[in-house]
Amino acid sequence: MAKRPIPSPVEAPRGIPKASVDAKGRLKLPVDFQRYLDAVDGGKVFVASLDHLTARIYPISVWKENERFFDSFMEDPDASLHISFSVNELGAESEMDSEGRILLPQELRRKLNLENEAVWLHHYRGGINVYNAEVYQELQSRSAEDRAGKLRLLAQRGFK
């Protein structure tokens, strides 16, 4: 019996590209984000918001890790319950279609002002953040504050 080749690790997408959400609530992903999600879990995702400001797209396997975390987190069971509830309140499973689009949950789109809007995508810690214009501009401003000090701290800790 022939051995199956071991798949190479999936490269996470880099950069913060601009994308758009169409009138039907579908987010059109850039090609590198499509490849990433397709390679990780065949395009199956969980779309939610942790803070009710930013949407977050999790490959379904990453989201399942979070569900196991909620189940086993006993330090503060109420925190686990409340965050799980909050995330699921606006969240839903979705699947990337053949054109590289993901349907965002209707209530999430409305609450986060993502309908018929430009958005910015940022892969971070296993998921993809989806920023509306207001959140993106706020992050640009906060990221610029004391940039030299932040770089100095990271360099002291090993950032190259």
Q: Assign domain 18-134 one CATH number from 3.30.1300.10, 1.10.760.10, 3.40.1550.20, 3.40.190.10.
A: 3.40.1550.20
27/57 Cα distance (integer angstroms):
11
CA-to-CA dists, residue 145 to 4, 129, 148, angstroms: 50, 21, 9
Is the pLDDT higher at 5 or at 101? Answer: 101
The whole-chain average pLDDT of the chain stands at 92
> Among 133, 130, 144, 119, which residue's Cα sits nearest to residue 51?
130
pLDDT at residue 10 in the model: 79
Whether the predicted pLDDT of 9 surpasses 90: no
Q: What is the pTM of this model?
A: 0.88
Tell me the residue type at 65. E
Whether the predicted pLDDT of 8 surpasses 70: no
Domain spans, the chain:
18-134
Which pair of structure tokens corresponds to residue 139?
Answer: 């992050």
- pLDDT tens column, 86-95: 999 999 999 9
Q: From the centroid of its chain, how far is CA 134?
A: 17
